[in-house]
A and B are shown apart, each in its own frame.
Chain A
Amino acid sequence: MNTELLPKCPQCGTPLPANAPAGLCPRCLMALNLKTETVFTDDMPAAQPPLPPAQIAPHFPQLEILECLGRGGMGVVYKARQKSLNRLVALKLLAPERVQDAKFAERFTREAQALAALNHPNIVTIHDFGQAGGFYYLIMEFVDGMNLRQLLRARKFTPEEALAIVPPLCDALQFAHDRGIVHRDIKPENLLLDKAGRVKVADFGIAKMLGTVNGGGDPGRTATPENATQTALGTPGYSAPEQKTDPQRVDSRADIYSLGVVFYEMLTGELPGKQLQPPSKKVQIDVRLDEVVLRALEKKPELRYQQVSEVKTLVETIVATPPDNSRREEAQIEAKGRQSKLTSLPTYRLGRVVSAIWGLWIFVLVVLVIYQKEGSPAWNLAVS
Chain B
Amino acid sequence: MPVTSQTSSSEAPKLFPHTRWTLVLAATRKDAPESAAALEAICHAYWYPLYAYVRRYGQSAHDAQDLTQEFFYRLLEKRWLEAADREKGKLRTFLIVALKNFMSKEWRRASAQRRGGGQPHARFDTEFAESRYAADSQTLAPDEIFDQQWAITLLELTVNRLRAEFTAAGKPRDFEVLKGCLMAERGAIDYAAVAKQLGVNEGAGRVSVHRLRKRFREIYREEISQTLADGAELDGELRHLAAALAGK
CB < 8 Å A-B pair total: 116
Q: With contacts A30-B241, A32-B213 known, is A21 near B155, CB below 8 A?
A: yes
Q: With contacts A6-B1, A14-B248 known, is A34 near B183, CB below 8 A?
A: no
- CB pair B242 A34 closer than 8 Å: yes
- CB pair A17 B4 closer than 8 Å: no
Q: How far is the CA of A42 from the CA of B160 in the complex (A)?
A: 25
Using Cβ atoms and an 8 Å threshold, which residues of chain B touch A267? Answer: none
As a 0/1 sequence over residues 201 to 216 of chain B, the CB contacts with chain A under 8 angstroms (1 = contact) are 0000011001101111
Tell me if B182 counts as interface (CB < 8 A to partner A). Answer: yes
Tell me if A38 counts as interface (CB < 8 A to partner B). Answer: yes
Q: Name the interface residues of B163-201: CB closer than 8 Å to any CB of A.
A: 163, 179-180, 182-185
Tell me if A25 counts as interface (CB < 8 A to partner B). Answer: yes
Tell me if A384 counts as interface (CB < 8 A to partner B). Answer: no
Contact partner of B3 (CB less than 8 A), chosen from A14, A23, A42, is A23
Size of the B side of the interface (Cβ < 8 Å), in residues, is: 52
- Could you list 9 A-B pairs, sorted by A, with CB under 8 Å? A3-B137, A6-B1, A7-B3, A21-B152, A26-B152, A30-B246, A33-B221, A33-B238, A49-B214
Using Cβ atoms and an 8 Å threshold, which residues of chain A touch B87? Answer: 273-274
Using Cβ atoms and an 8 Å threshold, which residues of chain A touch B159? Answer: 21-22, 24, 29
Q: How far is the CA of A346 from the CA of B217 in the complex (A)?
A: 58
Q: How far is the CA of A19 from the CA of B184 in the complex (A)?
A: 19
Q: How far is the CA of A151 from the CA of B108 in the complex (A)?
A: 46
- CB pair B183 A52 closer than 8 Å: no
Q: How far is the CA of A17 from the CA of B135 in the complex (A)?
A: 7
Contact partner of B217 (CB less than 8 A), chosen from A14, A17, A33, is A33
As a 0/1 sequence over residues 1 to 42 of chain A, the CB contacts with chain B under 8 angstroms (1 = contact) are 101011101010010111111111111111111111011101
Using Cβ atoms and an 8 Å threshold, which residues of chain A touch B210? Answer: 49, 52
Tell me if A47 counts as interface (CB < 8 A to partner B). Answer: yes
As a 0/1 sequence over residues 27 to 66 of chain A, the CB contacts with chain B under 8 angstroms (1 = contact) are 1111111111011101000010110101000000000000
Tell me if B245 counts as interface (CB < 8 A to partner A). Answer: yes
Using Cβ atoms and an 8 Å threshold, which residues of chain B touch A19? Answer: 12, 132, 135-136, 152, 156
Q: With contacts A18-B131, A24-B182 known, is A29 near B155, CB below 8 A?
A: yes
**4 shortest A-B CB distances, which residue pairs?**
A18-B135, A28-B183, A23-B4, A49-B214
Q: Which secondary structure dominates chain A's binding surface?
A: loop
Which of A21, A40, A47 counts the most B-chain CB atoms under 10 A from its CB? A21
As a 0/1 sequence over residues 72 to 107 of chain B, the CB contacts with chain A under 8 angstroms (1 = contact) are 000000000000000110000000000000000000
Tell me if A149 counts as interface (CB < 8 A to partner B). Answer: yes
Chain A, residue nearest B215 (CB): A49
As a 0/1 sequence over residues 147 to 168 of chain A, the CB contacts with chain B under 8 angstroms (1 = contact) are 0010001000000000000000
Using Cβ atoms and an 8 Å threshold, which residues of chain A touch B131? Answer: 18
Tell me if A211 counts as interface (CB < 8 A to partner B). Answer: no
- CB pair B207 A237 closer than 8 Å: no
Given contacts A17-B136, A21-B156, A271-B230, 11 further A-B contacts (CB under 8 A): A11-B184, A27-B245, A29-B182, A30-B155, A30-B242, A32-B213, A33-B220, A33-B221, A49-B215, A153-B235, A274-B87
Q: How far is the CA of A120 from the CA of B248 in the complex (A)?
A: 48
Q: Chain B nearest CB: distance from A63 CB in Å?
A: 20
Using Cβ atoms and an 8 Å threshold, which residues of chain A touch B239? Answer: 34, 153
